[in-house]
Structure 1
Amino acid sequence: NTAESFNSILERAKQGVFHYMSSKHLPRYLNEIGFRWDHRI
């Protein structure tokens, strides 16, 4: 399922890349993850 796949990428990014996601910058984090999702190989 696409939603489950995106959610797993979000969780991995939170644990591995960003470590802390503030609500103030949450749209920026989601845009970055969405960009990576759209441009994956």
Structure 2
Amino acid sequence: MPGLIVCIIALTKARRGRAGVRKTFGIGLALLLIGIILATWLFQNA
């Protein structure tokens, strides 16, 4: 899943700079949710 990879990258970047941890975690979480929604939608249409 590309969304999961992006989420992992976002989380690793968030660990480096603690200033934008909440923002990056929020973006990563949103991307993860979008990835789950897209995956379920693709499975339903397949």
Higher helix content, 1 or 2: 2
Q: Which has the larger radius of gyration?
A: 2
